[in-house]
Amino acid sequence: MTERKPPGTSFVSWIDQQIVEAQKRGSFDDLPGAGKPIPNLGREDAVQAWLRQYAQREGLSTEDMLPTSLRLRKQVERLPEAVRELRSEREVRDVVAELNRQIVAARRFPDGPPVPVPLANADAMVATWRDSHARPPAPPVPAQPGSSGPRPARPRWWRRVSRRRAP
Q: What's the DSSP call for residue 37?
A: P
pLDDT at 111: 83
Q: Which of 75, 86, 157 is nearest to 120 (CA)?
A: 75
pLDDT at 97: 96
pLDDT at 158: 58
pLDDT at 49: 79
Ranges of the chain with pLDDT below 70: 1-2, 39-44, 135-138, 140-167
pLDDT in tens, 28-37: 888 888 788 8
pLDDT at 132: 86
The DSSP string of 4-26 is PPPTT--HHHHHHHHHHHHHHHT
